[in-house]
Structure 1
Amino acid sequence: MSTFLFRNAALLDPLEAQLREGIEILVEDGLIREVSDTPLNSAAAQVIDVKGRTVMPGLIDLHVHVVAIEFNLPRVATLPNVLVTLRAVPLMRAMLRRGFTTVRDAGGAGHPFKVAVESGLVEGPRMFVSGRALSQTGGHADSRARTDYMPPDAPCGCCVRVGALGRVADGVDEVRRAVREELQMGADQIKIMASGGVASPTDPVGAFGYSEDEIRAIVAEAEGRGTYVLAHAYTPAAIARAVRCGVRTIEHGNLIDDETARLVAQHGAYVVPTLVTYDALASEGEKYGLPPASIAKIADVHGAGMRSIEIMKRAGVKMGFGTDLLGESQRLQSDEFRLLAEVMTPAEVIASATVVGAQVLGMQDRLGRIVPGAYADLLVVDGNPLESVTCLLGQGEHIPLVMKDGRIVVNELERA
């Protein structure tokens, strides 16, 4: 594996308030070997002079769906496996180009996607996969129309349609089995539906998802395998139930109130807001085939998103960075920075996509900072993200170099 020495860097450490000028960074065997404010020497290293540009950790998106190749998720679940897989590949490559070197897939992508990236077959971010999200009958991952029913000869839970983001399981025994199956098939963590949602056809946003007994059983099974549960939830009641039952991260949380935010903070749980997806659903959903029933529900959560950030910040809730974009709107991934920056400081926004994301994944010693022993995931950026997140927007135009695992995947420094 190649050795690199970055010189004349302005280092962005998410735990520090300002850039550190004149830093040298030695990358060896895929890891950050040394970080120094004095000259480093390595006879084997390829020297890269970044000429005072910002060097920062690779970004972490905690809520993506790489198989959500269209807005109409029930239709995606019916498409041929090969078609869904091949259409997901450029979506993954584009995430990496935007500087997202790590993503957590929050439902849909399974172990084969992770293997494809790790083996070099596909170029994309490091993946933490959830397999298929678990939903009760009629819940957020039950994509059947009201005219459908579950036939007695339906495929078993371990049969996989690549485009299916979720699966249905009911009752304590059945959800235990479902968790075990998803973990056996390679899930890194378990996703559940703890309230209704927008993209699903028959569940009101305010509906409860699983019962408390079911959630506790799911959490127990995940913890027994050394992992955790993330839960889709919007309303205060749904969020509070999930957190009390041991859920580690709440996804979305748009309708949270002050009391519930304080409860989340007290339990040490995290929230992963996904503001940009509601902008996209409202502006582009109908154009790209979002069903009318889903369009009608967008207003319930869209306007509340920004208020939720204010509430959670006030309560001291730890917030990760997530996007939850579907289909053609996945190009808007970096716009989440812009929306968060309307309420949070640039430093807080950067932390959400680096050190907080690493904490959620249990990878705080390996991801989120450029320190000795960490994976060599780093970006060279034109501009200072601690002053303005504008340089992180778009499709990576202001990120001339992307390194993941010590391998340079984008290098446009000579043209920059």
Structure 2
Amino acid sequence: MSKLVLEGVAAFDPVTGKRQTNVNLCIADGKIKAIGDVPPSFSDARRMQLPGRTVLPGFTDLHVHVAAANANLGVSASMPNFLVALKTLPVLRGMLNRGFTTVRDAGGADYGMCEAVNSGALWAPRILSSGKALSQTGGHADFRQRNDKLDDACGCLGRQGAIGRVVDGVDAMRLAVREELLKGATQIKVMASGGVASPNDPITNTQYSEEELRAAVQEAEAAGTYVMAHAYTARAVRRAVECGVKCIEHGNLIDEETARLLVERDVACVPTLATLDRLSEKGAGLGFPIESLEKIDGARSVGRKALALMQRMGVRVGFGSDMLGELHPFQSDEFGVRAEVVGNIEAIRSATCVAAEITRETGVRGTVAVGAVADLVVVDGDPVEDISLLLGQGEHIPVVIKGGVVMKEAGRLLEPAGS
């Protein structure tokens, strides 16, 4: 693999909080080999002069739905598979353009998408796929209307645009987890409470029996991975944690006692706040169901307080955007929302070193350190001082490097060789 030197940069490592100025960052074999002076072995390396720029680890978004082609997930679940696949391509490219080198898909991305990225056929963020999220009948991934026949609008037969599948019962849960792992899931997603986007389940509902949740956890752990659970209320979060879930998604209605439980059990949480702001603003015009719009304010009004509480209690809090359909371009808004509550550095940490802890890649990704994978973003200026540099569509991110390969340069996304 070719060698690369980023010359004269400031390197910010969110693990240590230290910023080195006017250093050279040397990359080879997909990893960071040196920071500081250029070793003699890099005399033949390509050099990029980047004075005044700051290098950060590539960002990780822990909660995306790349196959959610429509903000109305029921509509997305019924779209033709090929159309959904085509609509996924600009979503992934947009994420890469904004500096996200890894995304953890919380329901929808399949093996084919991941393989297209891993094989180099598509330059996009690395995808950690959950396969189809698992939902009980009438749960958060069951988008059938009350007046419909019980057909496949829920995605039970694997439609590309469906974020989940309906599974009921302990034995069926074990089989579903095994099937999703067989199809390439790197972690398992379950719906453990009601949600905003689904039509028939209030947020206050708990979903799945404890026996079903434990079955999912047992099967995931047997395969060396973990379960992430959609859960909004303190009651739903506690049930999931007590059943062995290792990552909570959303958690807007969490309380202090439950936050303490997360710390005690070493369970992370991935709040998704900016998406509720955008859905409140634009959801009606995008065809978001009225039943869902009515749920938004209840979760949105307390989300920032929940983030502040978890930060104060010491919960590991990762970055998640959860944008859907036409809202995908607002992914980086989450940086701004978090910075308002916990400050710029913690907002950056949530998408870098904390995210790497959650994906079990501490020291491998999410850090600017010798030996780490060279997933990097170059920013015009210092985002520690000005978080707005990370917002928008990557206008202030001229360079994105994934696995040592330059995928964006001079503000423009590049294409795979031979494409």
Q: Same fold (TM over 0.5)?
A: yes
Mapping of 1:339-350 within 5 angstroms? 339-350=337-348
| CA-based RMSD | 1.6
Mapping of 1:382-397 within 5 angstroms? 382-397=380-395
Q: Which deviates more, 232-241 or 2-11?
A: 2-11
- Quote the Cα distance in structure 2 between the aligned partners of 1:309 and 1:192: 22
- Quote the Cα distance in structure 1 between the aligned partners of 2:154 and 2:227: 23
Are positions 1:190 and 2:184 aligned together?
no
Q: Return the match for 1:284 from 266, 282, 297.
A: 282
Equivalent pair of 2:101/2:375 in contact (CA under 8 Å): yes
Amino acid in the other structure paired with 2:367: R
Are positions 1:200 and 2:198 aligned together?
yes
Cα distance, 1:44 vs structure 2: 2.6
Q: Tell me which residue corresponds to 2:417.
A: none
- Quote the Cα distance in structure 1 between the aligned partners of 2:307 and 2:16: 22
Amino acid in the other structure paired with 2:239: R
Mapping of 1:14-413 within 5 angstroms? 14-35=14-35, 37-41=36-40, 42-150=42-150, 159-412=157-410
TM-score (ref. length: structure 2): 0.95
Amino acid in the other structure paired with 1:138: G
Equivalent pair of 2:395/2:411 in contact (CA under 8 Å): no
Equivalent pair of 1:158/1:181 in contact (CA under 8 Å): no
Equivalent pair of 2:237/2:248 in contact (CA under 8 Å): yes
- Quote the Cα distance in structure 1 between the aligned partners of 2:309 and 2:154: 42
Equivalent pair of 1:319/1:352 in contact (CA under 8 Å): yes
Distance change (3 Å), C-alpha of 1:29 and 1:281: same
- Quote the Cα distance in structure 2 between the aligned partners of 1:56 and 1:342: 20
C-alpha deviations, 1:372-394, integer Å up to 9, x for none? 22221111111112222111111
Could you say what secondary structure the match of 1:403 adopts? strand
Amino acid in the other structure paired with 1:60: T
Are positions 1:7 and 2:7 aligned together?
yes
- Quote the Cα distance in structure 2 between the aligned partners of 1:334 and 1:312: 21
- Quote the Cα distance in structure 2 between the aligned partners of 1:303 and 1:157: 31
Count of residues paired in the alignment: 411
- Quote the Cα distance in structure 2 between the aligned partners of 1:311 and 1:376: 33
Equivalent pair of 2:98/2:332 in contact (CA under 8 Å): yes
Cα distance, 1:364 vs structure 2: 1.5
Equivalent pair of 1:190/1:229 in contact (CA under 8 Å): yes
Could you say what secondary structure the match of 1:363 adopts? coil
Cα distance, 1:38 vs structure 2: 2.9
Runs of 4+ in 1 over 6 A off after TM superposition: 154-158
TM-score (ref. length: structure 1): 0.96
Equivalent pair of 2:377/2:397 in contact (CA under 8 Å): yes
- Quote the Cα distance in structure 1 between the aligned partners of 2:316 and 2:16: 17
Amino acid in the other structure paired with 2:213: I
Equivalent pair of 1:18/1:386 in contact (CA under 8 Å): no
- Quote the Cα distance in structure 2 between the aligned partners of 1:123 and 1:274: 26
Equivalent pair of 1:11/1:56 in contact (CA under 8 Å): yes
- Quote the Cα distance in structure 2 between the aligned partners of 1:373 and 1:127: 22
C-alpha deviations, 1:122-165, integer Å up to 9, x for none? 221011000000011110011100113436xx699984210010
- Quote the Cα distance in structure 2 between the aligned partners of 1:139 and 1:116: 31
Equivalent pair of 2:154/2:162 in contact (CA under 8 Å): no
Q: Which stretches in structure 1 are left out of the alignment for 5+ residues?
A: none
Amino acid in the other structure paired with 2:4: F
Could you say what secondary structure the match of 1:319 adopts? coil
Could you say what secondary structure the match of 1:22 adopts? strand
Amino acid in the other structure paired with 1:47: R
C-alpha deviations, 1:346-367, integer Å up to 9, x for none? 1111111001111111111321
- Quote the Cα distance in structure 2 between the aligned partners of 1:122 and 1:286: 33
Could you say what secondary structure the match of 1:294 adopts? helix
C-alpha deviations, 1:191-243, integer Å up to 9, x for none? 00010001001011100111111111100000000000000000000001101
- Quote the Cα distance in structure 2 between the aligned partners of 1:274 and 1:52: 32
Identity rate of aligned residues, in percent?
50
Could you say what secondary structure the match of 2:252 adopts? coil
C-alpha deviations, 1:275-334, integer Å up to 9, x for none? 011001100111011011111111120111111111111111110000000111111111
Equivalent pair of 2:52/2:380 in contact (CA under 8 Å): no
Equivalent pair of 2:177/2:188 in contact (CA under 8 Å): yes
- Quote the Cα distance in structure 2 between the aligned partners of 1:324 and 1:60: 13
- Quote the Cα distance in structure 2 between the aligned partners of 1:157 and 1:185: 16
Amino acid in the other structure paired with 2:39: L
Q: Tell me which residue corresponds to 2:415.
A: none
Distance change (3 Å), C-alpha of 1:409 and 1:157: closer
- Quote the Cα distance in structure 1 between the aligned partners of 2:127 and 2:155: 23
